[in-house]
Amino acid sequence: MKEIWLPYGKAKVKVKVPEDNLLGIIEPRHFEGAPDPEAEVRRALSEPIGTDVLSSMVKPGDKVVITAEDHTRPSPSWLMIPPLLDELNKAGVKDEDTTVLFACGTHRAVRPDEAKRLLGPEVLKRVRVLSHDCRSPDHVFIGETSFGNKVKVDKVFAEADVRILTGDVDLHYYAGYGGGRKSVLPGVSSLSTIRFNHAMLLHPKAKMGVLEGNPVHEDMMEAAELADVDFILNVVMNAENQVVKAFAGDLKDAFFRGVELVDQIYKVPVEEKADIVIVSPGGHPHDIDLYQAYKGIHTALEAVKEGGVVLALADCPEGHGHKVFFEWMTKFKTLEEMEEEIKRNFVLGGHKAYYLMKALEKAHIILVSSMPSDMVRDIFRLEPARDWREGLEKAFELVGRDASVLVMTHGNITLPIVGS
């Protein structure tokens, strides 16, 4: 038996796979974290890509907004924001003229305890901290993209003199990659702007790891350009959420440099597909709910044979995670019905139901989680299992004892490239 430790919630579980069945383990390439992450962030700020240093771009009295990732992401805002504030202070910008705005997109507001963890107590004392609300009436129209998306953004963000984006660059299953421009759209955009953008996910190029020809990405980039972003600070992290490298400077140039490093770490070659893929989304916060954890199932589909089995180990302590996701899985019975609804009246959260239904057409999906079994089975149409042993036994029953097995340790952030 081969023993493999997989992240599950805030812990790890040891999975045992028969050696004769195991094809391999799909995991990100090993990149060491920076020995001094704060020094790495400061290095990036001192060597910006495609722009001058930040301190030369601002002046005393400027109103500055810095976006930060919300509670659903592992981005180390507590590490990035203080050096930015120091750079601003160096140029005479006072802390009271700076606002940190959580780029929540359609997610709920960040709670005070979460804000303290995400930013650190010192940042909370220094500057005003807000959460973006996509449903608020306080949005400002800033222009229209070439796709026809009317871009409205948070009023506080729009009315700032200087706009800075922070976040982490990683793979995203229909925007191609997270990070950079995504802090504007969906981060601080109105619900209508986000819905217009995300409805383009039906496009064949709206895929993980794809930017060229991807309308979701291109629309996001145009929106960020309309927003007149002055500066970005993004990091790329390894599978242990350690900062490998920081990238600062121009909206496009710094982001694309981050993308290059993400490809080196997270695009993983696989010789052949397997009958069974055991996948962990990567533990907390990637498996905080089924809405987030689905991304791991999505990438596992790249490595599983048609009609095979995906065995997902995702804690999901917050349940399904999205009201519309739940409603669409209840309301619509077929993939075709969902496609029509996306074209006619796209509502965010529906896309996750669409992807899940599409996944179920390709593979059996077994879920080990803390969600109620009847909800897993009856609403989300997945096969529940109490633990990995029961899940793997069910998988072997479906595709045979001689089935080939691949194991993915960090499904949400890893992209198998088969045959490369």
What secondary structure does DSSP assign to 76-91, as a single string? -HHHHHHHHHHHHHHT
pLDDT for the residue 48: 98
Q: Is residue 248 part of a domain?
A: no
- What is the pLDDT tens value at each position of the chain, 420 positions in all? 999 999 999 999 999 999 999 999 999 999 999 999 999 999 999 999 999 999 999 999 999 999 999 987 889 999 999 999 999 999 999 999 999 999 999 889 999 999 999 999 999 999 999 999 999 999 999 999 999 999 999 999 999 999 999 999 999 989 999 999 999 999 999 999 999 999 898 899 999 999 999 999 999 999 999 999 999 999 999 988 899 999 999 999 999 999 999 999 999 999 999 999 999 999 998 999 999 999 999 999 999 999 999 999 999 999 999 999 999 999 999 999 998 998 888 887 898 999 999 999 999 999 999 999 999 999 999 999 999 999 999 999 999 999 999 999 999 889 999 985
In a shared domain, residues 128 and 223: yes
In a shared domain, residues 333 and 382: yes
In a shared domain, residues 21 and 80: no
Report the alpha-carbon distance of residue 169 to residue 256 in Å, rounded. Answer: 9
401 contacts: CB under 8 Å, gap ≥ 6: none
pLDDT for the residue 342: 87
Q: What is the CATH number of the domain that holds 42?
A: 3.40.50.11440
End residue of a domain, out of 196, 220, 237: 237
Pair 311, 392: CB distance under 8 Å: yes
In a shared domain, residues 185 and 204: yes
Domain extent, residue 334, equals: 2-27+266-418
In a shared domain, residues 178 and 300: no
End residue of a domain, out of 220, 237, 254: 237
First to last CA, the chain: 28
Pair 168, 178: CB distance under 8 Å: yes
Q: Give just the sign of the alpha carbon dihedral 205, 170, 326, 397.
A: positive
pLDDT for the residue 239: 87
Q: In this structure, how many other beta carbons lie within 10 angstroms of the beta carbon of residue 212?
A: 8
Q: How many domains does the chain have?
A: 2
Q: Is residue 253 part of a domain?
A: no
Q: Is residue 135 part of a domain?
A: yes
CA 267 to chain centre: 15
- Residue 268 has which token pair? 């993983």
Q: Is residue 261 part of a domain?
A: no
In a shared domain, residues 228 and 285: no
Q: What is the CATH number of the domain that holds 404?
A: 3.90.226.30
Q: Is residue 252 part of a domain?
A: no
Beta bridge partners of 231: 164
Closest among 381, 397, 411, 373 to 277, alpha carbons compared: 411
Task: Name the residue with tokens 């589909």.
Answer: 301
End residue of a domain, out of 221, 237, 253: 237
In a shared domain, residues 171 and 49: yes
Beta bridge partners of 72: none
In a shared domain, residues 48 and 191: yes
Q: Is residue 359 part of a domain?
A: yes
Q: Give just the sign of the alpha carbon dihedral 376, 378, 381, 382.
A: positive
pLDDT for the residue 420: 58
**Residues forming the active site:** 107, 172
Report the alpha-carbon distance of residue 133 to residue 377 in Å, rounded. Answer: 33
Q: Virtual CA dihedral for 122, 125, 128, 129, nearest 10 degrees?
A: 50
pLDDT for the residue 289: 96
Report the alpha-carbon distance of residue 365 to residue 290 in Å, rounded. Answer: 13
3-state secondary structure of 97: helix
In a shared domain, residues 17 and 151: no
Q: Give just the sign of the alpha carbon dihedral 82, 84, 87, 89.
A: negative
Q: Is residue 249 part of a domain?
A: no
In a shared domain, residues 360 and 401: yes
CA angle 174, 175, 177 (to 5 degrees): 115
Closest among 406, 365, 372 to 386, alpha carbons compared: 372
Provide φ and ψ at 341, rounded to 5°.
-70, -35
In a shared domain, residues 212 and 303: no
HSE of 169 in the Cβ direction (CA atoms, 13 Å)? 29
Q: Is residue 246 part of a domain?
A: no
Report the alpha-carbon distance of residue 395 to residue 310 in Å, rounded. Answer: 8
In a shared domain, residues 203 and 70: yes
